[in-house]
Amino acid sequence: MNINRRTFLKSSAALTAAMATPLSSAAPSSSRTTPPSDTINVGLIGCRGMGWGDLSNFLSHKEVRCLALCDIDSEMLSGRADEIDKKYGKRPDTYADYRKLLDCKDIDIVVIGTPDHWHCLQFVDACKAGKDVYVEKPLANSIAECDAMVAAAKRYNRIAVAGQQQRSGKLWHEMIEYLRGGKLGKISKVHVWGNFKYAGMAPLGPDTPVPQGVDFETWLGPAPKVTFNPHRFHGSWRMFWDYGGGLITDWGVHLLDMALWGMDVQTVPLKTLAAGGRFLLPDGGHETFDTMSVTYQFKDFLIEWENNAGVETGPYERHYGLLFRGANGTLVANREGWEVYPEGDRVLPVNVTPNGTDHAAHVTRFLECVKTRNPETPCTIENAALCAKYAHIGNIGVRIGAAALVYDDRARTFDLAEANPYIRPAYRSPWKFPE
Ligand SMILES: NC(=O)c1ccc[n+]([C@@H]2O[C@H](COP(=O)([O-])OP(=O)(O)OC[C@H]3O[C@@H](n4cnc5c(N)ncnc54)[C@H](O)[C@@H]3O)[C@@H](O)[C@H]2O)c1
C-alpha cells in the first residue's frame, strides 16, 4: 500500500508529537506520595488469552516483574507460571482466588484478563486494594457495572486503563489527525461493521463433567448457576448474555471507540434504533445476535453498527472496519490501514499502512502514566465506560424489541420501562454488586 507522501510527512510529524506526550495535559494526580519503585510488580488475573498477551507486553519492559498469576483453571495457571519461570528465571506465585493475589502488598499493577462478567468485581476490588489496573475491554458486561468501575477508580484514586489498545496505535492517531484537519468536509455518517465467523456457533453440544482442575463455580462467579458446557466456556463465553454481549461488545467496542473518538462524542446518543436476531444461524449455539444493525442518532450525524456472525465478507473488502462518510470523500479504516476515497476531485486520495503495534504502545503509555501518576491514561475508564454503554444500549434495544430507545445517563434509566432491568445484573450470592 502507498501513502501520499505529503500527507504522511505532515501527519507523522504531528503524530510523533502526540505520541510523545499524554493525550491530555491534565496534571498528574498525587494519589501516591512517590511513584512505584524502579521495579514495577505486576499480577495477572485470567491467564489464558488476552490477559497473557497483555502480560507479555508488560514483561517486555526490563523494569517489570510478574509476581503472581491467578486463574480458576489450575492446568492453565501452572503452565503459564512455568513459562514465566523458564523465560525470566523466577516462578510467580499462583492463586486460584483473585482476592489472595490482591492481598500481595508488593504488586503495583493488576492486569484483568477474565471474561467480561468478572471485570467489575475484580476491578473494584483491585482499586480498593490500592492497585493500578489494566482491565480488558469491554469495560464490563452491563451499564451499571461500568458506572461502578468509573466511581471506584475515582474514589480510590487509581491509575487505570482499559484494553482498547487502538487508542495507542499510530495508525489510528494519524486517522484522527486527518479527520480533525477537516478535509473530508461535513461528516454525516459513520458506519462501523464486524463480520466474524467465530461468533456464529455450531449447535451447542451436550453438557459434560467439569474438566479436572477447573473451578467452574468461581468461573461463573456472580453469573447464574448453570451446568458445565465446553462450548460456553474458555473463549466462546462471549456469545452468551451472562458473560458477554456478542460481536458488538467484543469487536464493537474497539471500532465504535474509533467512531466516537473520530466524531469527538462524549455522551450517550440522543436516540438508538436497533434491530437484529439469530437469523443467519437460527440453530447455532450462540445466544447473542448473529445479525444486527444499530443506528445511534446525534444532532447532525449518525453512527451505525452492523454485525454478521458466521460470515466474513464486508464493505470495501474488509470483514471489519469503519467508514466516515464526508461531503468531500469517504475514509475507510481497519487495523490493516486506512484510505480516503475522494468524491470527484474534492480531496486527494490517501492510503496509510500500519506502523507499530497498538498493544505494545498501549502498555508502554500506561506504564508511563503509572510512573508519573497521571490519571489521563490512553483509554480512561470513563472513555471505556462510554463506549461499552453504546454496545450495551444496542444489545438491550434488540433484546426488548424496541423500535427506538433513549438512555438518560444522568438518571440512569431508559425511556422504556422494559429496558431498565438490563441495566444492572443480579449478582448471585455470595458475590455482591459493588455499590
Ligand atoms: N484487547 C483486545 O484486543 C482483546 C482481544 C481478546 C480478548 N479481549 C478481552 O480479554 C478478556 C479475556 O478474553 P479471552 O479471550 O482471553 O478469554 P479466555 O476465556 O481465553 O480467558 C479467560 C481466562 O480467565 C480465567 N478466569 C475466569 N474467571 C476467573 C476468575 N474468577 N479468576 C481468575 N481467572 C478466571 C479463565 O480460566 C481463563 O483462563 C475479555 O474481556 C475479552 O473481551 C481483548
State which amino acid sits at residue 20: A
pLDDT confidence tier of residue 36, bands split at 50, 70 and 90: low
**Residue labelled with grid coordinates 461488545:** 249
Q: Is the CB of 43 under 6 A from ligand 1?
A: no
The contacts of residue 353 (CB under 8 Å, 6+ apart) are 1, 3, 171, 336, 337
User: How confident is residue 423, by pLDDT bands cut at 50, 70 and 90?
Assistant: very high
Please tell me what DSSP assigns to residue 209: P
Strands 187-196 and 302-309: parallel
User: Does 22 score more than 50 pLDDT?
Assistant: no
What's the gap in Å between 233 CA and the centre of ligand 1? Answer: 10
Q: Are 230 and 73 in contact, with CB atoms under 8 Å apart? A: no
Asked if residue 76 has its Cβ within 6 Å of ligand 1, the reply is yes
What are the residues facing 40 on neighbouring strands? Answer: 64
CA distance 201 to 286: 6
Chain centroid, CA 252 distance in Å: 9
Indicate the pLDDT class of residue 403, thresholds 50, 70 and 90. Answer: confident
pLDDT value, residue 1 = 29
User: Percent of the chain, pLDDT > 90?
Assistant: 90
* pLDDT tier for residue 15 given thresholds of 50, 70 and 90: very low
- All three cell numbers of 227: 451446568
What is the mean predicted confidence (pLDDT) over 55-77? 98
Give the distance (Å) from ligand 1 centre to CA of residue 261. Answer: 25
- This prediction has a pTM of 0.93
- Give yes or no for residue 57 CB within 6 A of ligand 1: no
Q: How far apart are CA 9 and CA 15, in angstroms?
A: 10
Is the pLDDT assigned to residue 122 strictly greater than 50?
yes
Contact 222, 427 (CB under 8 A): yes
What is the arithmetic mean of pLDDT over 389-414? 97
Mutate to test the pocket of ligand 1, among 74, 99, 136, 379 (most ligand atoms within 8 A of CB): 136
* Per-residue pLDDT reduced to its tens digit, 211-245: 999 999 999 999 999 999 999 999 999 999 999 99
Lowest-pLDDT range of 23-37, 163-177, 420-434: 23-37
> With a 6 A CB cut-off, is 218 part of the ligand 1 pocket?
yes
Ligand 1 midpoint to CA 46 (Å) = 6
At residue 391, what are phi and psi to the nearest 5 degrees? -65, -45
The strand ranges marked E within 160-225 are: 160-162, 187-196
20-167+363-380 and 172-355+386-422 agree in CATH topology: no
* DSSP bridge partners of 306: 193, 293
Judged against a pLDDT cut of 50, whether residue 372 lies above it is answered with: yes
- 314 pLDDT exceeds 70? yes
Which ligand 1 atom is the nearest neighbour of the CA of 70?
33
| pLDDT over 50 (residue 16) | no
Has residue 29 got a pLDDT over 80?
Answer: no
Q: Would you say the CB of residue 98 lies under 6 angstroms from ligand 1?
A: yes
Ligand 1 in contact with 46 (CB < 6 A)? yes
* pLDDT for 37: 61
Minimum mean pLDDT range among 47-61, 348-362, 417-431: 348-362
Ligand 1 atom closest to Cα of residue 118 = 31
Instruction: Provide φ and ψ at 266, rounded to 5°.
Output: -120, 0
Q: DSSP states of 275-327 as a string?
A: EEES-S-TTSS--S-SEEEEEEE-SS-EEEEEEEET----GGG-SEEEEEEES
Is-contact 85 103, C-beta < 8 A?
no
pLDDT in tens, 379-390: 999 999 999 999
Residue 135 in contact with ligand 1 by CB distance below 6 A:
no
Superfamily of domain 172-355+386-422 in CATH is Dihydrodipicolinate Reductase; domain 2 (3.30.360.10)
d(CA 305, CA 322): 9
Band the pLDDT of 210: cuts 50, 70, 90.
Answer: very high
Can you name the residues that pair with 214 across neighbouring β-strands? 73
Please determine, for residue 198, whether its predicted confidence score (pLDDT) is greater than 50: yes
From residue 411, alpha-carbon distances to 207, 290, 407, 415 in Å are 42, 31, 9, 10
What is the fold, at CATH topology level, of the domain defined by 20-167+363-380?
Rossmann fold (3.40.50)
Q: Which of 19-23, 41-45, 236-240, 417-421 has the lowest mean pLDDT?
A: 19-23
**Three cell numbers at 216?**
467452574
CA distance 354 to 175: 11
Residues in Cβ contact with 175 at an 8 Å cutoff, skipping those fewer than 6 apart: 258, 262, 331, 333, 338, 352
Residue whose CA is closest, atom 7 of ligand 1? 50
**Range of lowest pLDDT (119-133, 293-307, 342-356):** 342-356
For 105-174, give the DSSP string. Answer: TT--EEEE-S-HHHHHHHHHHHHHTT-EEEEPSSS-SSHHHHHHHHHHHHHTT--EEES-GGGG-HHHHH
Question: Ligand 1 atom closest to Cα of 250?
Answer: 43
Query: Which whole number is the average pLDDT over 150-161?
Result: 98
Residue 48 Cβ contacting ligand 1 at under 6 Å: yes
Residue 14 has pLDDT above 60, yes or no: no
Please provide the average confidence, as pLDDT, over all residues in the chain.
Answer: 92
pLDDT tier for residue 18 given thresholds of 50, 70 and 90: very low
Residue burial 17-48, b: 16+ Cβ < 10 Å; e: rest:
ebbeebbeeeeeeeeeeeebeeebbbbbbbbb
pLDDT of residue 19 exceeding 90: no
Q: Is the CB of 233 under 6 A from ligand 1?
A: no
Q: Does the Cβ of 358 fall within 6 Å of ligand 1?
A: no
Mean pLDDT on 116-144: 98
What pLDDT is attached to residue 354? 84
Residue at 250: amino acid letter: D
- Mean pLDDT (whole number) for 131-155: 98
pLDDT digits (tens, 9 = 90+) for 81-95: 999 999 999 999 999
What does the domain layout of the chain look like in residue ranges? 20-167+363-380, 172-355+386-422
Q: For strand 291-297 and strand 302-309, is the pairing parallel, antiparallel, or unpaired?
A: antiparallel
Residues 185 and 206: their CA atoms lie apart, in Å, by 55
